[in-house]
């Protein structure tokens, strides 16, 4: 292990102290071989005589056991880990003081490999393998979910790095070593802990950590961004043989996007990584909760906020999510599916295919209108029916609404597929239809009380209109969307929980 990969903690102004607990020795554990060690503690294999099982014991180094500040931090780590109770954290079974006087806590023994081992074991061809990256992004997403749970509970890890991510023999993923974690203080929006100390691992810490400034969940997001960068490129962008140089790079340098170093990383995932690595915390994802949602959207072939998709990307992603409907669109558009990616193929008559696709879209649109009429009829019938006869009509309404959602996906996807196929000379009629779907979608989210989803849909449409404007929004339509966004944002409240990303966008 190089110095650059070691966790450091240099405290300015000393430590506040708190007396340790006067626990008695616990004779039930027979200590065995050392599994790992750090600056404050050692992890050893132990046999729990009482329950007849192997556990991992984390014990404080004897030379630090008499330091009240160090003892307090060790005990706080045990309390933090025990309080998380998340599948991505190692369960704590017991805590106390050994006969020799050092505090300890016993936890589940995790057998597996660290993400650092997995990354260092890759060959160059693995780094450029879409399958390998997909597997590691799955690991990364689960780390984000674990850290999201911690952030929701007001905790900052402060030492997220591949060496602290374990993948066990069953494929479970754990975020370990919470020795530098701190509890947040504040009003719930700008929670921070005091600055004055440098704590973390130089090549993975955030710029604010490297400046000994106050940190918040966005600091962990930066560390996650560094881990993702390493997954996508095979290299840490800030690593140096000199600790101070690593911290200077973290504070001052912005790495090149991962996709520039490895095209297989892809535009969307590269943009997510770069947003997480923004030097200004306000420009990053606010917490691992937001980053986990972004990675989920990416893995579900949905648009990510960090990189609004192009028209063709929208069509391809829709086809990946709906392969059955996509096969019909492919037949009409002459798009072959190769490895899950839509590939346009040359055909004899582009015009005739466009006509066929448009006719299919007309039929799907008419089917959607019929379902809407059925929903209106069933709603009126339910309102007029006696109370004991409404249950059957309510069930019918639920089925019709589910059918409408499927029909809407078909219409929406076909329209985007047609535009994607003819991106160089878009059909204005189809553009108008998609713009109408955009407005209807926003109103549908608002009617369902999904203001966050409506706001996200409007923001993406405005970003697209400000760049390529592939849907041909007029100035009047853009102004209307801006006004609608202002109205929607006014309805949002800080207490509102996160909503899922709108489907089909």
Query: Are residues 161 and 226 part of one domain?
Result: yes
Query: Are residues 400 and 367 part of one domain?
Result: yes
Query: Are residues 261 and 124 part of one domain?
Result: yes
Asked whether the predicted pLDDT for residue 319 surpasses 50, the reply is yes
Beta carbons of 156 and 96 less than 8 angstroms apart: no
Q: At 39, which CATH number?
A: 3.30.200.20
Using 50, 70 and 90 to split pLDDT, how confident is the model at 504? very low
Asked whether the predicted pLDDT for residue 151 surpasses 60, the reply is yes
- Between CA 213 and CA 198 the distance in angstroms is 8
Count: domains in the chain: 4
Query: Are residues 221 and 116 part of one domain?
Result: yes
Cα dihedral 403, 405, 409, 411 sign: positive
Using 50, 70 and 90 to split pLDDT, how confident is the model at 372? confident
Which of 4, 23, 117, 159 is labelled catalytic?
159
Query: Are residues 270 and 231 part of one domain?
Result: yes
Q: At 142, which CATH number?
A: 1.10.510.10
- Between CA 161 and CA 165 the distance in angstroms is 7
**Domain with 351 in it:** 308-423
Count of beta carbons in the 10 Å neighbourhood of residue 88? 21
Query: Are residues 382 and 281 part of one domain?
Result: no
Q: Give the total residue count for the chain.
A: 505
> Does the active-site annotation cover 159?
yes
Instruction: State pTM to two decimals.
Output: 0.62
Query: Are residues 430 and 419 part of one domain?
Result: no
Beta carbons of 250 and 207 less than 8 angstroms apart: yes
Query: Are residues 125 and 73 part of one domain?
Result: no
Q: What is the structure's pLDDT at 52?
A: 93
Lowest mean pLDDT among 45-49, 220-224, 449-453: 449-453
423, 453, 477 - which closes a domain: 423
371, 399, 423 - which closes a domain: 423
Query: Are residues 135 and 236 part of one domain?
Result: yes
299, 319, 343 - which closes a domain: 299
Query: Are residues 334 and 408 part of one domain?
Result: yes
């Amino acid at each position: 292990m190089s110095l650059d990969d070691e966790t450091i903690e240099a405290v300015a102004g000393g430590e506040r102290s708190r007396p340790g607990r006067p626990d008695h020795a616990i004779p039930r554990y027979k200590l065995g071989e050392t599994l790992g060690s750090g600056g404050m503690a050692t992890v050893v294999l132990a046999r729990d005589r009482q329950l007849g099982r192997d556990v991992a014991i984390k014990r404080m180094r004897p030379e630090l056991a008499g330091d009240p500040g160090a003892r307090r931090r060790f005990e706080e780590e045990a309390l933090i880990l025990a309080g998380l109770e998340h599948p991505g954290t190692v369960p704590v079974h017991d805590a106390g003081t050994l006969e020799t006087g050092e505090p300890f806590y016993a936890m589940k023994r995790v057998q597996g490999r660290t993400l650092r081992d997995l990354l260092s074991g890759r060959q160059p061809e693995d780094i450029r393998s879409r399958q390998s990256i997909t597997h590691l992004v799955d690991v990364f997403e689960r780390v984000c979910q674990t850290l999201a749970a911690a952030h929701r509970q007001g905790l900052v890890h402060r030492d997220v790095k591949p060496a602290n991510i374990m993948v066990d023999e069953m494929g479970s993923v754990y975020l370990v070593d919470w020795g530098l974690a701190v509890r947040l203080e504040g009003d719930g929006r700008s929670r921070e802990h005091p600055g004055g100390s440098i704590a973390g691992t130089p090549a993975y810490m955030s710029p604010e950590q490297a400046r000994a400034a106050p940190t918040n969940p966005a600091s962990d997001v930066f560390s996650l961004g560094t881990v993702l960068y390493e997954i996508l490129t095979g290299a840490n962008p800030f690593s140096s043989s000199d600790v101070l140089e690593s911290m200077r790079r973290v504070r001052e340098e912005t790495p090149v996007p991962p996709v520039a170093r490895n095209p297989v990383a892809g535009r969307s995932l590269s943009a997510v990584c770069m947003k997480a690595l923004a030097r200004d915390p306000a420009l990053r994802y606010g917490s691992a909760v937001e980053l986990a949602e972004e990675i989920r959207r990416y893995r579900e072939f949905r648009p990510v906020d960090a990189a609004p998709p192009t028209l063709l990307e929208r069509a391809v992603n829709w086809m990946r999510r709906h392969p059955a409907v996509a096969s019909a669109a492919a037949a009409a558009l002459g798009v072959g599916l190769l490895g899950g990616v839509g590939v346009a193929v040359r055909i004899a008559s582009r015009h005739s295919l466009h006509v066929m696709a448009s006719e299919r879209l007309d039929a799907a649109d008419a089917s959607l209108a019929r379902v809407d009429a059925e929903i209106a009829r069933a709603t009126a019938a339910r309102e007029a029916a006696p109370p004991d006869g409404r249950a059957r009509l309510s069930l019918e309404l639920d089925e019709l609404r589910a059918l409408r959602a499927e029909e809407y996906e078909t219409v929406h996807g076909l329209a985007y597929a047609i535009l994607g196929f003819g991106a160089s000379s878009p059909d204005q009629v189809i553009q108008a239809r998609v713009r109408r779907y955009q407005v209807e979608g926003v109103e549908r989210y608002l009617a369902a009380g999904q203001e966050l989803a409506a706001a996200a849909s409007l923001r993406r449409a405005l970003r697209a209109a400000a760049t390529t404007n592939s849907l041909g929004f007029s100035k009047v339509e853009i102004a209307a969307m801006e006004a609608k966004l202002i109205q929607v944002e006014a309805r949002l409240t800080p207490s509102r929980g996160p909503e899922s990303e709108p489907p089909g966008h």
